[in-house]
A and B are shown apart, each in its own frame.
Chain A
Amino acid sequence: MTKTTLKGLALGLTLPVLLAGTALSQDYDYGSFPDTTLRVKLIGGAQYEPLYAEIPKWEEMTGAKVEVLSRKNHFELDREIKQDIAAGTLDWCVGSNHTSFAPQYGNIYIDLNGVVDEAVLAKFDALALENSTVNGRLVQLPRHSDVSNLYYKKSLYEDQANKDAFKAEYGYDLAPPETFDQFKDQAMFFADAPTFYGTQYVGKDEAITGRFYEMLVANGGALFDEDWNPTFNSEAGVRTVNWFKDLYDANAVPAGVLNYLWDDTGLGFASGTVALNLDWAGWAAFFNDPANSKVAGDVGIVRAPKGVGGKRAGWAGSHTFSITETCDNTDAAVSFITFLTDHDRQMIEARKGLLPTRTQVWKDVKAEFEAEGNDFQAEVVDTYSLSMSEDAFTPPLIEPWIEVSNEIWPRLQAAILGEKTPQEALDEAAAEARLIMEDAGYIN
């Protein structure tokens, strides 16, 4: 049987599943709101836009109009929302939100429990809904999620000379890393600065705090104890900082890594000059596209490594939609966010590599990739599905999280650059974090 026939057969088997999904989404009654104009503030950016192209369909179904007041990146949107809170101008209904940002906003958003149809909520991944809950209130409906796994350049691991040399130097077989210690060994082994690097990491802002946090947890540590006392200046914390510092000192990461954010790490791996890259699923298609990437066809993926605590890194969050308490037409707003997160809309985003929050979409998008013969993307779906269900955890869902993060990351940088010892840096950050937690009323 030819490959084409197999693909056709697979597509034939998949099609009823997809059609069933479509039928399910059309079963939902989105209501009729002919005289309503819904004012919304949405996150903007290339990967978010395809979903917004669907908005006219909801307008056509319900007779409502959508007025988009903002379409900015999340940090700018966060500032705008804070200004709205300060100025008392929350005269809009639906806003993009994020699990890491939501706790800051107090009670400006309604509890969606009892407002969104229970049958609809039942279709979402339970962990994604749990992570969207702040102080027992479901303040956001998850749109897509985010967790990191490890991309690697396959040819490096298939090369016999590499295998022999690695075994001789480190005493174990060369295979994609299962632990952060192996990750560090392999990154140092492959590095040949300045033309090739073992790995790279995001080096500033909440990005490096998040990486530090997930490795801290994987190494058996915690940011806070149960009474919200900062505990990240522990042995596990120092061990985690040393992982970043050792790689930096060994030139196994680019020298400018402390200024890197997500675009830099993604483009760096796609440039073919990096062996291992812990990153989110949104890059998978880009990495495997010959038009954009020099590693296309040579990319492997495994779950994020484990720390010495035996746990895998799994810093996760979700992009979400929320409805304001001041909204003048909650029913229309609920209909709108239900539409934007329904099966078909999530399929649109999942095809681009974004992680769905509805369980059925995981299955359907994988079936679609398999039917197209896109084995790499199917493997990506499998890997991320597993890490979302088994490894994912959020940062503490507390109001001062971003503020605490802003005390941690400059000190992580200082430790990596050798301006402070890891213990000094973490002790300083913990002392500042304690003040913030005291000010916020978490510590008496």
Chain B
Amino acid sequence: MARTPRSSYKTRLALTPYLLLAPAFLVLIFVIALPLVFSLYTSFTGYRLVRPDSLWNWVGLRNYERIFTDWDFWVAFGRTILFLAIALNLEFIFGLGIALLINRITWGQRTLRTIMMFPMMFSPILVGYQFKFIFNDNIGVLNNALQSLGISDAATPWLVDRNLAMFSIIFAEVWMSTSVFAILLLAGLFAMPRDPIEAAKVDGCSPLQVFRHITLPFLMPFAFIAMTIRSLDVARAYDIVDVMTGGGPAGRTELLWTLIARVGYDNSRMGQANAMAYVSIILSVAFTYYFFTKLVAARRYMGGAA
């Protein structure tokens, strides 16, 4: 039976939203979904980068079984959590301090805001090299300064000692990315209404009380957004660590992505590396979920929409 012009028009009208959305869906499918499905598939194969035909070598859960019995992987997993927790907290504290200080400045604030963002503009590889030479025990700036000033007469092995090596890497990471927190928190301070603060001052609140009960709760949603962004970044930390220590010595600074990159590229075992990457995604998902929960709670506390 032939369609009437009216029903054809109705069909076209019903299809229009799907047609309009189709380009977006296609982009999502080809740019995100397909690579994800492909990499998930390879994690069940013995895929070696230099042997394309090994892509069809199905090994089932073998890569995952190897990971669950691989002590080095879980040590790197735990170390990444520790690295993430310390770096994010330090970046938050320093970022908050910088934002509060810059917010008080009335002259030259724009210049200072620009200067504050300089570390973010460097490539992580350059930052890695910069700190590698600063922390070099023999010809590095830091040890030479400490020795010249008479503070120490030893050549401190910054990039070798178990604790100092992690400290040095965290220092470089914090140096480069604190401004992410500072910028977002500064935006929060700019958006902050003056009335509650003035009301609190009239009621006799001390500056510390104003900060504790008004400024900080107002800034927390901004802080949690920064933490969500940075937790995804730090959980994938690779460049700085690779340049400064390469995950060593003896695996002392091995993080998830230095390990995964070595397995996937240097050893060409991309199937196993992808299995590691999928397990490590748990970390990013967990932190993102945690920070979003905190963000919603902070907004609810401030009376905003959940």
Contact = CB atoms under 8 A, between A and B. Distances in A.
A197 B138 CA distance: 9
Q: Chain B contact residues: over half helix, strand or loop, or mixed?
A: loop
Interface of A: 78-79, 82-83, 85-86, 88, 104-106, 193-194, 197, 200, 203-205, 254-259, 264, 267-268, 271, 273, 399, 402-403, 406, 409-411, 413-414, 416-417, 419
A409 B132 CA distance: 20
A205 B138 contact: no
B50 A106 contact: yes
A301 to B, nearest CB: 22
Interface of B: 49-52, 132, 135-139, 143, 147, 153-160, 244-246, 248-251, 262, 265-270
A416 B265 CA distance: 27
A82 B268 CA distance: 8
Contact of A413 (B138, B153, B156, B249): B249
Contact of A105 (B50, B156, B244): B50
A258 B49 contact: no
A406 B266 contact: yes
A83 B52 CA distance: 10
B160 A256 contact: yes
B248 A256 contact: no
B160 A259 contact: yes
Nearest to A259: B159
A333 B143 CA distance: 50
Nearest to A412: B250
Given A194-B155, A254-B137, A86 B248 contact: no
A422 to B, nearest CB: 13
Contacts of A273: 138-139
A257 B249 CA distance: 10
A131 B154 CA distance: 44
A105 B267 CA distance: 12
Given A79-B265, A403-B268, A85 B157 contact: no
Contact of B153 (A194, A204, A268, A409): A194
Contacts of B246: 204-205, 259
A228 to B, nearest CB: 18
A409 B113 CA distance: 45
26 contacts: A85-B50, A86-B52, A104-B50, A194-B138, A194-B147, A200-B138, A203-B249, A205-B246, A254-B138, A254-B157, A255-B156, A255-B160, A256-B135, A256-B136, A258-B160, A258-B248, A258-B249, A259-B244, A402-B267, A403-B268, A406-B266, A406-B267, A410-B248, A413-B249, A413-B250, A416-B249
Contacts of B265: 78-79, 82
A402 B267 CA distance: 7
A271 B158 CA distance: 19
Contacts of A205: 246
Given A204-B246, A273-B138, A402-B266, A85 B49 contact: yes
Nearest to A75: B266
Given A204-B248, A254-B155, A410-B250, A264 B136 contact: yes
Nearest to A440: B48
Nearest to A80: B265
Contacts of B153: 194
Contacts of B132: 259
Contacts of B245: 259
